[in-house]
Chains A and B, each alone.
Chain A
Amino acid sequence: MSESAAHTAIEAVARNSYGRLIAFLAARSGDVAGAEDALGDAFVTALERWPADGIPQKPEAWLLHVARNRVIGAVRRNQVRLNSEQFLQQIPAEAKSVAVTEEHFPDERLKLLFVCAHPAIEVAARTPLMLQTVLGIDAARIASAFLVSPAAMGQRLVRAKNKIRDAAIQFCVPDPPEWNERLSFVLDAIYAAYTAGWESLMEGSSTLDAMAEDAITIGRTLVQLMPTEAEAHGLLALMLHCQARRAARYTSNGEFVPLDKQDNTRWSRPMIDEAENHLRLAAGFKRLGRYQLEAAIQSIHANRAVSGFIDWPEILLLYEGLVQFAPGIGSLVGRAVALAQTGKPAAGFAALEAIPASRIVSYQPYWAARGHLLQLLNRQEEAQQAFIRAAGLTEDLALREYLFKRSADDLCKEPTNKRKIHE
Chain B
Amino acid sequence: MKYALLVHAPLENFSRPKDRADIAAGRAYGEALQAAGVFVGGAGLESPQSATTVSVRDGKRQVHDGPYAETKEFLAGFAIIDVPNLDAALEWAARNPAAGHLLVEVRPLVGSYFATGGNKPA
Proximity string of chain B (77-114) to chain A, C-beta cutoff 8 Å, 1 when within and 0 when not? 00000000011001100110101100000000000000
Residues B95 and A392 in contact, CB atoms below 8 Å apart: yes
Residues B90 and A393 in contact, CB atoms below 8 Å apart: no
What interface size band does chain B fall in? 20 to 34
B30 close to A (CB within 8 Å): yes
Residues B25 and A391 in contact, CB atoms below 8 Å apart: yes
- Given contacts A149-B86, A401-B21, A404-B24, is CB(A362)–CB(B36) below 8 Å? yes
Query: Roughly how many angstroms separate A388 CA and B87 CA in the complex, as a whole number?
Result: 24
Determine which residue in A148, A149, A152, A388 has the highest number of CB atoms from chain B within 10 A of its CB, and name it: A388
Residues B99 and A395 in contact, CB atoms below 8 Å apart: yes
Residues of A within 8 A of B54 (CB): none
Closest to A408 in B: B24
Closest to B37 in A: A361
Residues B31 and A149 in contact, CB atoms below 8 Å apart: no
Residues B32 and A404 in contact, CB atoms below 8 Å apart: no
Residues A148 and B95 in contact, CB atoms below 8 Å apart: no
B69 close to A (CB within 8 Å): no
Closest to A367 in B: B32
Residues of A within 8 A of B24 (CB): 388, 391, 404
Query: Which of A361, A362, A389 makes the CB contact (< 8 A) with B28?
Result: A389
Residues B28 and A392 in contact, CB atoms below 8 Å apart: yes
Query: Roughly how many angstroms separate A152 CA and B91 CA in the complex, as a whole number?
Result: 15
Determine which residue in B31, B32, B37 has the highest number of CB atoms from chain A within 10 A of its CB, and name it: B32
Query: Roughly how many angstroms separate A401 CA and B100 CA in the complex, as a whole number?
Result: 13
Query: Roughly how many angstroms separate A295 CA and B95 CA in the complex, as a whole number?
Result: 29
A394 close to B (CB within 8 Å): yes
Closest to A395 in B: B94
Query: Which of B35, B36, B37, B90 makes the CB contact (< 8 A) with A148?
Result: B90
Residues A388 and B31 in contact, CB atoms below 8 Å apart: yes
Residues A392 and B99 in contact, CB atoms below 8 Å apart: no
B14 close to A (CB within 8 Å): no
Closest to A400 in B: B25
- Given contacts A394-B95, A395-B94, A395-B99, is CB(A389)–CB(B87) below 8 Å? no
CB distance from A402 to the nearest CB of B (A): 12
A168 close to B (CB within 8 Å): no
Residues B29 and A392 in contact, CB atoms below 8 Å apart: yes
Closest to A152 in B: B86
Residues of B within 8 A of A394 (CB): 95
Which residues in window 364-423 of A have CB below 8 A to B?
388-389, 391-395, 397, 400-401, 404
Residues A362 and B97 in contact, CB atoms below 8 Å apart: no
Residues A361 and B35 in contact, CB atoms below 8 Å apart: yes
Query: Roughly how many angstroms separate A395 CA and B97 CA in the complex, as a whole number?
Result: 7
Residues of B within 8 A of A306 (CB): none
Query: Roughly how many angstroms separate A166 CA and B118 CA in the complex, as a whole number?
Result: 44
Query: Roughly how many angstroms separate A152 CA and B27 CA in the complex, as a whole number?
Result: 31
Residues of A within 8 A of B27 (CB): 388, 392
- Given contacts A147-B94, A400-B25, is CB(A393)–CB(B32) below 8 Å? yes
Query: Roughly how many angstroms separate A100 CA and B67 CA in the complex, as a whole number?
Result: 70
Query: Roughly how many angstroms separate A149 CA and B31 CA in the complex, as a whole number?
Result: 26
Query: Roughly how many angstroms separate A392 CA and B35 CA in the complex, as a whole number?
Result: 10
Residues B87 and A400 in contact, CB atoms below 8 Å apart: no
CB distance from B34 to the nearest CB of A (A): 9
Query: Roughly how many angstroms separate A262 CA and B31 CA in the complex, as a whole number?
Result: 30
A-B contact pairs, 15 of them (CB 8 A): A147-B87, A147-B94, A149-B86, A149-B90, A388-B24, A388-B28, A391-B28, A392-B25, A392-B95, A393-B32, A393-B95, A400-B25, A400-B97, A404-B24, A404-B25
Binding site for A on B (CB under 8 A): 21, 24-25, 27-33, 35-37, 86-87, 90-91, 94-95, 97, 99-100
10 tightest A-B CB contacts, nearest first: A392-B32, A392-B28, A391-B28, A395-B94, A392-B29, A388-B28, A361-B36, A147-B90, A397-B100, A362-B36
